[in-house]
Amino acid sequence: MTASPRIREISKKLLRLTLDEEGRMVEAKVCEVLETLRANPSRYHKLLLQLFLDHAIRESSKGLAIVEFAGKPSDSSIESLKIELSRQYGRNIDVEMRENLDLIAGIRVKVFDDVYEDSASSRLRPLERALC
Amino acid sequence: MSNITELIKKEIESLSTDATRTNIGRITTLADGVARVDGLSKVMFNEMVEFPNNVSGIALNLEEESVGCVVLGDASRLKEGDEVQTTGRLLSVPVGMGMLGRVVDAIGNPIDEKGPIDSSENYPVERIAPGIIPRQSVDQPLQTGIMAIDSMIPVGRGQRELIIGDRSTGKTTIAIDTIINQAKINKLGEESGDPDFRPVYSIYVAIGQKNSNIARTIKALEDNGAMDYVIVVAAPAADNPANQYLAPYAGCAMGEWFLRNGKDALIVYDDLSKHAVAYRQISLILKRPSGREAFPGDVFYLHSRLLERSARLNKDSGNGSLTALPIIETQMGDVAGYIPTNVISITDGQIFLETDLFNKGIRPAVSVGLSVSRVGSAAQVKAYKKVSGKVKLQLAQFRELAAFSQFESDLDAATKAQLDRGARIVEMFKQGVYSPVPVSVQTGVMWAMENNFFDSIDVSRITAAVESLKEYFSSSGKEVVQKIHEEGNLTKGIEEDLRRAVEDWKRSFA
């Protein structure tokens, strides 16, 4: 079923209800919203929950930086990265570290749909394209 | 071996070592060459995006939560969940003199197996049309070589003249004849060494046509020695709708290079009906709201922004021009259809081709009543204007009288004379395919008709007589034609020479 603009709007309002002053989702508020929805199920209950889930995933990814590395950076580097990203995005950014050996060397940071990359594989990519 | 390593080392040295920032998204749905992408929050409208496996696309629908991208390559190599990234570049195509003689696809890749294109410049396919200040009114002729058009519906450089008619009425033939005529004029001009000569380069954009038809057109251009001055942009029916949608804009970008570099160019869009259909298909897949005949609301803008890019620039802006000959196919002669009326209102006139005339053997099947050129007469050569001034009226009156005369057996002498003259003019305008006639020769033939030299010849023999006179003008009567060409006006002296030449021809023809 396709969601009507009204359902989309309601799902966005629900998301706004779960945010704290810093713009982060609060678990208790999410539970409260889910409880209210369960108590008063609408005709589009499942669709509304699905849209709410999509927004929640999108929102949480906006506050999370996935840092991929080939050689683990120092704790101080991670901390300074966290501070810089929080400053740039104007919100508190959490960091999740993941090892990715495909990078060969360097780092790749993904915040929602922005990707910052300084790795050996990213430098080799244009060369590969040029030689193909 | 050392050369190879040097080459690779050089390439490595030229690589940027800065950290890169890209904006990415993921394909959520993929259907009919259109991908809906989640993410890409910083993508620009019409920006090129990169899919995996060297497939590219353009972002066309920027919505709050997703982006609709048209896939330009092989969509079967993509799947849901694939990562998409922005490039920061708008879609652009190679332009320049190196494009001449080449056949390219909608994004400028060569498809003629003649190797890579020699071009160092790229132009974006979408560009704002020249404004009011750099423009000037049309005042130079663009001769099609077709008597019926050059005399009654003259086209000027920078004009947009629509060619409209049902299927198989000779629309493409008129466009190809015009291109061939430009090539012939270019060759003569280059041979003459005249420093003021301005060649006209042509761009032929084939949209949604059968590959066999495109191949036939290219062969006709090659056989008539026109290909050296032509760029062919092909987006055949087998191509995806995105390429068919982009092809006219790509061709226009190539034409704009000539316009902005002080040169003259002619662009043929064959045809915009199929272009509108391809755009409708994309819009429906992108779930844009549809309007009349399921076309999206911006189908007028689709064509107006394309045709507005054709212009005549003033001297301060380089004096270049881009003339457009868009083609529209009508259904059962209905010029009041949605797309035909849109394009009619955008262009500076139209050449309407009638199926009935075509079937009667009157070819080119130009309908005098429905065809018009709104700005072209200002660009017509004086000599030609002088002899062709009354023809359109005479022919229109003839068509009207011919309809009435079917019910009347006893006609007065004046009506009979008008009918007689009209029948002769119709025969005079009959012209074979790919045989454009120089305007100076056309002037001579028209002068002979105006001065009653064909009156004593039987109507059934007029076409043969006209052909014979054209031949005479290219052999024994060459001098007088040359004089008309040089003077550009019919002086008393030239008229006397013309009279002598035509009398001489008539003796031999009789």
pLDDT at A39: 92
pLDDT at B73: 82
Contact list in B for residue A132 (CB cut-off 8 A) is: 54
Q: What is the topology classification, in CATH, of domain B2-90?
A: Elongation Factor Tu (Ef-tu); domain 3 (2.40.30)
Is residue B152 a contact partner of residue B391, using CB atoms and an 8 Å limit?
Answer: yes
pLDDT at A36: 92
pLDDT at B408: 67
**In chain B, where are the structural domains located?**
2-90, 94-380, 385-509
Q: Which amino acid is at A13?
A: K
Do A115 and B21 make contact, defined as CB atoms within 8 angstroms? yes
pLDDT at A10: 92
Name, in order, each residue with C-beta under 8 angstroms of B166's C-beta and a sequence gap of 6 or more. B329, B330, B331, B332, B333, B353, B355
Active site residues of B: 374
Name, in order, each residue with C-beta under 8 angstroms of A38's C-beta and a sequence gap of 6 or more. none
Contact list in B for residue A127 (CB cut-off 8 A) is: 8, 11-12, 15
What residues does B26 pair with on adjacent strands?
B38, B83
pLDDT at B355: 95
Over the stretch B159-204, which tens digit does the pLDDT of each residue have? Answer: 999 999 999 999 999 999 999 999 999 999 999 989 999 999 999 9
Which positions of chain B have pLDDT values less than 50? none
Give buried/exposed letters for A77-114 (b at 16+ CB in 10 A, else e). Answer: ebeebbeebbeebeeebebeeeebeebeebbbbbbbbb
Helix (H) or strand (E) holding B226, with range, is: none
SS3 (DSSP) at A102: helix
Do B22 and A127 make contact, defined as CB atoms within 8 angstroms? no
C-alpha span between B482 and B379 (Å, rounded): 20
Residue in chain A nearest B22 by alpha carbon? A115
C-alpha span between B441 and B145 (Å, rounded): 10
Cis peptide before B236 (omega within 30 of 0): no
Homologous superfamily (CATH) of B94-380 is P-loop containing nucleotide triphosphate hydrolases (3.40.50.300)
Q: What is the topology classification, in CATH, of domain B385-509?
A: Lysin (1.20.150)
SS3 (DSSP) at A128: helix
pLDDT at B75: 87
Choose the mutation target among A9, A59, A113 for the interface with B, i.e. most B CBs under 10 Å.
Answer: A113
Over the stretch B94-125, which tens digit does the pLDDT of each residue have? Answer: 999 999 999 999 999 999 999 999 999 999 99
pLDDT at A87: 92
pLDDT at B189: 93
pLDDT at B440: 93
Reference B224, options B194, B244, B202; nearest CA is B202
- Give chain A's count of helices (H) and strands (E): 5, 4
pLDDT at B17: 66
Is residue B382 a contact partner of residue B488, using CB atoms and an 8 Å limit?
Answer: yes
